[in-house]
Amino acid sequence: MPTLPPDQVQFHIPLPRTVPPCCPSSPVLSPDWQVTRSLQNTSREHEAERGRLSQEVSARQQSLEETRMELALARAELQRAWREGNSSQLVLAMLQKKMQEVQAKLINSESTMSSLRACVNTECCPLGWVLYRNVCLFISGEKKSCSQSCEDCRDKGAQLLAQGKWPSLRMPGSTALYWIGARPASDTKWYVIWRDSKQWCAVGIVCELLPAAHRKVDNSKWRQYQWICEKPPELTDTPKSLLPLLDKA
């Protein structure tokens, strides 16, 4: 190849590459991918709930320390009055009663703290239930009528989710309808007594659908929908094996 003079050196500029057409902006998601995303969302919600419980533990820890201080002051006051010997039996009895009340309060606070700590570090709800705002929720996968849903919750030692407890509660990524319990606006005492009767699910239960806003649906009691049960978490005593770890927390 002949050599060109310096002022005629040629530069080879590469041609731009052909960019293939982009994939569709909204690909169809596979069922497996949707399930994975749902599980990820549930995991994040669970972690958020654990974080909220941790904050409650911290707040109760501060209250517990204040109660301990209150007990120490009450005990010191009783000992002072006893040593001085110039207090009447009535005053001593009052101080003794106050100290016992504070001590009972302390014991109750310590028990609650142990339960909350165990709830943060272990599972407080039965298998298949989810902890949400200090309540265990069971979200059914099958469909039943209003009364059948009520019976299922009672068989689980629970009740239908109380209507109005969380107005903003929504099932993420779901268009399904769920039976929940509707609390009547009448006599509260009557409601509580009647709800605990054996005939409640058969003739007394009043159900609502969640969510029902902006949707025209058949809410007849015999219609079958999924349902949501609620019951308090099982705040058992903290296992002894966890105590050393919790003391370091």
Other residues' Cβ atoms within 10 Å of the Cβ of residue 178:
23
Q: Does the structure show a pLDDT above 60 at 84?
A: yes
pLDDT of 184 reads: 56
Rounded percentage of the chain residues whose pLDDT exceeds 70: 47
pLDDT of 104 reads: 84
- Greater confidence (149 vs 33) lies with 149
- Mean pLDDT throughout 166-191? 61
Q: Does the structure show a pLDDT above 80 at 212?
A: no
Among the residues of the chain, which ranges form H helices?
31-84, 89-121, 146-155, 188-195, 243-248
Whole-model pTM? 0.47
Q: How confident is the model at residue 241 (pLDDT cuts 50, 70, 90)?
A: very low
Residue type, 49: E
Between CA 214 and CA 145, with CA 221 as vertex, the angle to 5 degrees is 105
pLDDT of 238 reads: 40
Q: How confident is the model at residue 242 (pLDDT cuts 50, 70, 90)?
A: very low
Contact 242, 248 (CB under 8 A): no
pLDDT of 25 reads: 47
Rounded percentage of the chain residues whose pLDDT exceeds 90: 5
Q: Does the structure show a pLDDT above 90 at 67?
A: no
Contact 38, 94 (CB under 8 A): no
Counted residue by residue, the chain has a size of 249
Q: Look-up: residue for tokens 């006051």?
A: 77
Q: Does the structure show a pLDDT above 90 at 152?
A: yes
Q: Look-up: residue for tokens 């649906």?
A: 217
Q: Look-up: residue for tokens 């009043």?
A: 206
- Mean pLDDT throughout 160-170? 67
Q: Residue 158: exposed, middle, or buried by beta-carbon count in 10 A (0-12, 13-18, 19+)?
A: buried
User: How far is the CA of 174 from the CAs of 209, 210, 224, in angstroms?
Assistant: 14, 11, 17
pLDDT of 10 reads: 42
- Residue 140's closest CA among 123, 158, 124? 158
- CB under 8 Å to 105, separation ≥6 — which residues? 67
pLDDT of 162 reads: 82
Q: What is the pLDDT of residues 7-42, one digit of tens each?
A: 443 434 344 444 444 444 445 444 445 544 555 565
- Partners of 131 in beta bridges: 136
225 DSSP assignment: B
The per-residue pLDDT of the chain, averaged, comes to 67
- Residue 173's closest CA among 57, 45, 53, 63? 45
